[in-house]
Amino acid sequence: MVLRPITLGLGMVVALTLFFGAFAPNDSLFYSLISINIWSAVFKTALLIALVLIATRRRFKYAVTSILLASLGSLLIMFGLAGLFVPQITYGLFTYAKFLDFLLMTEAGVIMSLAVLTFESAKQRLPMPAKLQPIQAYISLRNQLPAKGSLKSMSIRKPA
């Protein structure tokens, strides 16, 4: 229950920085703390959409979604912390991401990782595409056969 207000709050912060960056790009806040680069704005918009989608869910529909969200959350945490604490990364990406951008990435990664831990786990798998169903049937049939080196597969041949 705490995750929803935190997620929506962070989403509002991202939306406000995008809004003020578009209408007041000469503000001193954007010179040193927040980037107003177009790619940074696209990334923050995608992050905002993801956070709003997370805040409106209570569980994941597919099991793969939780794995992808956990991976994305871990990557955002690592990249955000690296940007905060490693000066070479911070100065190398200064035109694209600044201090508060890295902080927003870290917070979004924490929220995504917490969502994976707190949401109900899905037991439904992704549906198999029609083109892959014969391959899946072959693999399941092959897995039912005994291995080549096992005793069941060994046969005694009669000498000719």
For residue 67, give both structure tokens: 């794995």
pLDDT at 131: 64
Angle made by CA atoms 52, 59, 71, in degrees to the nearest 5: 70
Highest mean pLDDT among 11-15, 28-32, 108-112: 108-112
The residue-averaged pLDDT of 18-42 equals 72
At 58, which amino acid appears? R
Neighbours of 51 (CB within 10 A): 26
CB 61 within 8 A of CB 122: yes
pLDDT at 54: 82
Answer whether residue 26 shows pLDDT above 60: yes
Spatial separation of the C-alpha atoms in residues 19 and 17, rounded to whole Å: 5
pLDDT at 76: 92
pLDDT at 130: 63
pLDDT at 63: 77
Give the SS3 label for residue 120: strand
SS3 content of the chain, % helix, strand, coil (to 5): 65, 0, 30
pLDDT at 129: 62
pLDDT at 102: 84
Question: Across the chain, how many H-helices and E-strands are there?
Answer: 7, 0
Spatial separation of the C-alpha atoms in residues 43 and 85, rounded to whole Å: 21
Answer whether residue 146 shows pLDDT above 70: no
Give the SS3 label for residue 24: coil
Choose between 72 and 142: higher pLDDT: 72
For residue 64, give both structure tokens: 């793969």
Choose between 86 and 128: higher pLDDT: 86
Spatial separation of the C-alpha atoms in residues 59 and 128, rounded to whole Å: 22
Answer whether residue 77 shows pLDDT above 90: yes
